[in-house]
Amino acid sequence: MVFAVRTRIIRPPQSLSAIKTSQVTLECGVERDASVTITWHWYFGSSEISDSRMSVSSTDGSLTIKSVRSTDVGRYTCRVVSITGNDSAAADIKVIGMNVLSLF
């Protein structure tokens, strides 16, 4: 079987700053041959993500983090795997704490 398109990331995740407790989404859009099955794997540092607050879309590979915490600061890597090629891209997340102001 001949494939016309090599699988590659065309919408890589972008580094961002997130407000603590907010929800963020990192993209990992790919170009691929429509007949090819691909899988997305997301890593935080060197470990594959398995946190229940984080989910990977099975349709576009985006990673959603619900209720961002200070411990979520770091590098996130999307790795795409298929028979027509593998690719990876990374982005960093910084977390900004919310300051509560008291009015007198």
For the whole prediction, is pTM greater than 0.85? yes
Please report the pLDDT score of residue 103 as a whole number: 45
What mean pLDDT is reported for the chain?
91
Tens digits of per-residue pLDDT, 20-76?
999 999 999 999 998 999 999 999 999 999 999 999 999 999 999 999 999 999 999
Q: Given the DSSP bridges, would you call strands 16-19 and 87-96 parallel, antiparallel or unpaired? A: parallel
Reported confidence tier of residue 4, pLDDT bands at 50, 70, 90:
confident
Q: Please state the length of the chain.
A: 104
pLDDT at 99 over 80: no
Quickly name the fold that domain 8-96 has.
Immunoglobulin-like (2.60.40)
